[in-house]
Amino acid sequence: MKIAVVGTGHVGLTTAACLAHVGHDVLGIDDNPEKVDAIGRGEMPFYEPGLADIVRAGLASGRLTVSSDVAQAARFGEVVFVCVGTPTRDTGEPDLTQVDRVARTIAENLDGYTVIVEKSTVPVGTGERLRRTVEVTAPETAEFDVASNPEFLQEGYAIRDTLEPGRIVFGSDSERAVAVLMEVYRPIINRSDCPVIVTDIATAELIKHTSNAFLGMKISFINKIAEICDRTGADVDTLAAAVGMDPRIGRDFLRAGIGYGGACLPKDVKAFAFTSEKLGVDSLLLATIDYINRSVRGRFVERIAEALIDPVDKRIGVWGLAFKPETDDLRNAPALDVVRDLVSMGAVVTAHDPVAMGDAKALLPDIAFADDPYDAARDADCLVICTEWDIYASTDLARLRASMASPLIVDGRNIFEREEMERAGFRYLSVGRPAVGVNPG
Ligand code: UGA
C-alpha cells in the first residue's frame, strides 16, 4: 500500500520506518527541509535504539522515501497518517495549529479516496474538527474518511512497541476506513497477534489520553506514598512490589522517583485536565496528578540542600539528564529543573549523560559537563542521580567513593541497594527508603 506519514518526530518517523519495514511504500514528510535531508542521508534527528538501522534499510530498499512537501501527502498516499506535534499552552490547552495546517494542505491535494488518520495525541473532538476542516477545504468531489489510530509507543522501545504492539486501536465511523487500516496493519497484526479494538473516533481519542493519564496517576500515586515512607522509615520499593502483585493493580509504573517527564505524560495529563474542565467535568484528579509530579522535583532538591546543609559553592555531580534512559529527550526532564534549582542555590554542578549532553549544553549554560560519570563526580560534595541509565548501576563504588570529596549520594531513581551503599561507605539518600548514614530529609 502507498502510505504517507506527516511529521517525523518519534511517532512519525518510527511509524514510517516500521510500515516500510513490513512491506508498504511509505513517504515520510516533514516541513523542515534540513531535517528531511538528514533523514534521507540516514541521519536520525533523535536517539532511538534500532531506528537508524530500520530507516536506512527502508531508504536503501526504496520502500521509504522522504519529502518536505506536505502537499505530496494526499497525492502519494491512500492513507495519510498525521503525526505532527500537539504541544500544550501554559494553560494546558492543546495547541492544534499544526494539525489544522496539515489538514488543510491534505484537503487541498486530495486525489482519490484517502483515509486521513490522526495518530498524534489529541483531545477528544479533534477527529471531528479534522473532518470539518477537510470538508470545508477539499474540492466537493473529494472522497475521504477520517480515523483515529492512537500510538502507544514508549521512547527507547519505539521499534518493539510498533512492530509488536500490545493493542491497536482504530476509531472511525466508516467501515471502509477501518478496512483500509486493517490492510495497513495486517503484517503487524499477523506477526504480533495483538488485539485490535475498533471503535468510534471519540472513544479512540479518549483511550489514548486515559492511558497516559493513568500511567501518570500510578507514578504520582507511588511518589506520594514514597513521601509517607520517608516520614515513617518504610521502604517504598518493597511496598510497591507487594502492592503490584495484585493483578488488579499491576507492577508496572510503580517506581518511585523524581517523577515523570518527556514529551507525552506531562503534556497529556495537563491537556486532559483542560479538556475535562472544558466539558464541564471537574479536573481535580487529573490536576492533582500533575501537581504531585511537579512538586516531587522541588522536594528532591530540598532534600539535597538539607543533606549538604548549605549548597552554596558545593560541588555537585549529576548523573543523567534525559527524562528516562535510552533516549536523548530532554523535554520536561526532571533533571533540568533539579540542576537549575541547584545552580540557583549557588551550587557548582558538573553533569553526565550518556547521550543527552549535546542538547543539554544549550539548556544548561551555567554548568560543566563531563564525558565520563566518574569525572562528573570527581571532587564532588554530593552526587545526584536523576536518570537510571544502566551504566550508573554498574559503577565501581570503591573508585567512585575515592574520587569524591564527600561520599554523599542522593539518588532520585533508587538505582542502588541500600546495603551495598552502606558496605561501600556512602551516605545515601534515595526516594521513599530509609537513608543510609544520614538523617532522612
Ligand atoms: C509514554 C507512554 O508510556 C507510552 O505508552 C505513550 O505511547 C507515550 O508516552 C506517548 O504518548 O507517546 P514515554 O513518554 O516514552 O511513553 O515515557 P514512559 O516510559 O512512559 O516514561 C515517562 C516518565 O515516567 C519517565 O520520566 C520515567 O522516568 C517515569 N516513570 C516511569 C517513573 O517515574 N516511574 C515509573 O514507574 C515509570
Query: C-alpha cell of 181?
Result: 487500516
Ligand 1: atom nearest CA of 327 is: 15
Name which of 416, 381, 422, 390 is nearest 325 in CA terms. 390
265 lines ligand 1 (CB under 6 A): yes
Distance CA 21, CA 429 (A): 46
93, exposed or middle or buried, with CB in 10 Å at 0-12, 13-18, 19+?
A: middle
Average the pLDDT over 154-181 and give the result.
97
Task: Pick left, alpha or beta for residue 389 (phi over 0 → left; psi -120 to 50 → alpha; otherwise beta).
Answer: beta
Is ligand 1 within 6 A of the CB of residue 254?
A: yes
| Pocket mutation for ligand 1, best pick of 219, 251, 331, 385 (most atoms within 8 Å of C-beta) | 219
Residue with the nearest Cα to atom 30 of ligand 1?
Answer: 260
Q: Between helices 201-232 and 265-278, what is the axis angle to 10°?
A: 120
Ligand 1 binding pocket includes 255 (Cβ within 6 Å): yes
Stated as kind and residue range, the H or E segment containing 348 is: strand 348-352
Question: In this predicted structure, what is the pLDDT of residue 168?
Answer: 98
Give 102 Cα–ligand 1 centroid separation in angstroms. Answer: 27
What residue ranges in 96-233 does DSSP mark as E strands? 114-118, 144-148, 168-171, 196-199
pLDDT at residue 441 in the model? 41
Quick one: pLDDT band at residue 438, thresholds 50, 70, 90? low
Is any atom of ligand 1 closer than 6 Å to the C-beta of 155? yes
Rounded Cα–Cα distance for residues 117 and 181 (Å): 9
Q: What is the pLDDT of residues 228-285, one digit of tens each?
A: 999 999 999 999 999 999 999 999 999 999 999 999 999 999 999 999 999 999 999 9
121 CA: nearest ligand 1 atom:
11
Q: Residue 149: pLDDT above 80?
A: yes
At 291-311, the pLDDT tens digits run 999 999 999 999 999 999 999
Residue 312's φ and ψ, nearest 5 degrees, are -60, 125
Q: Based on the residue annotation, tell me whether 18 is a catalytic residue of this protein.
A: no
Segment 333-337 long-range contacts (CB within 8 Å, at least 24 positions apart):
333/261, 333/262, 333/386, 333/387, 334/257, 334/258, 334/259, 334/261, 334/296, 334/297, 334/300, 334/386, 334/412, 335/258, 335/386, 335/387, 336/360, 336/363, 336/364, 337/297, 337/298, 337/301
Residue 440 has pLDDT above 70, yes or no: no
Interacting residues of 377 by C-beta distance below 8 A, sequence separation 6+? 317, 319, 383, 400, 403, 404
**Atom number, ligand 1, closest to the C-alpha of residue 333:** 26
CB atoms < 10 A from the CB of 94, how many? Answer: 24
185 pLDDT above the threshold of 60: yes
Pairwise CA distance, residues 321 & 108, whole Å = 43
**CB of residue 388 inside a 6 A radius of ligand 1:** no
| pLDDT tens, position by position, 41-52 | 999 999 999 999
φ and ψ of 184, to 5 deg? -60, -45
Query: How far from chain centre, in Å, is Cα 302?
Result: 26
As a whole number, mean pLDDT of residues 115-123 equals 95
| Nearest protein CA to atom 10 of ligand 1, as residue | 264
Nearest to 260, CA basis, from 209, 219, 298: 219
For atom 24 of ligand 1, the residue with the nearest CA is 260
Atom of ligand 1 nearest to the CA of 11: 12
Residue 52's pLDDT is what?
97
Pick the catalytic residue from 83, 229, 264, 382: 264
Is residue 274 lining ligand 1, measured as CB closer than 6 Å?
A: no
- Say if residue 215's pLDDT is above 60: yes
- Mean pLDDT (the chain, rounded): 96
Choice among 4-18, 78-92, 403-417, 423-437 with the minimum mean pLDDT: 78-92
Residue 264's pLDDT is: 94
Instruction: Say how many Å lie between the CA of residue 328 and the centre of ligand 1.
Output: 14
- From atom 5 of ligand 1, which residue's Cα is the shortest distance away? 152
**Which atom of ligand 1 is least distant from the CA of 208?**
11
Residue among 265, 328, 332, 411 whose CB has most ligand 1 atoms within 8 A, to mutate: 265
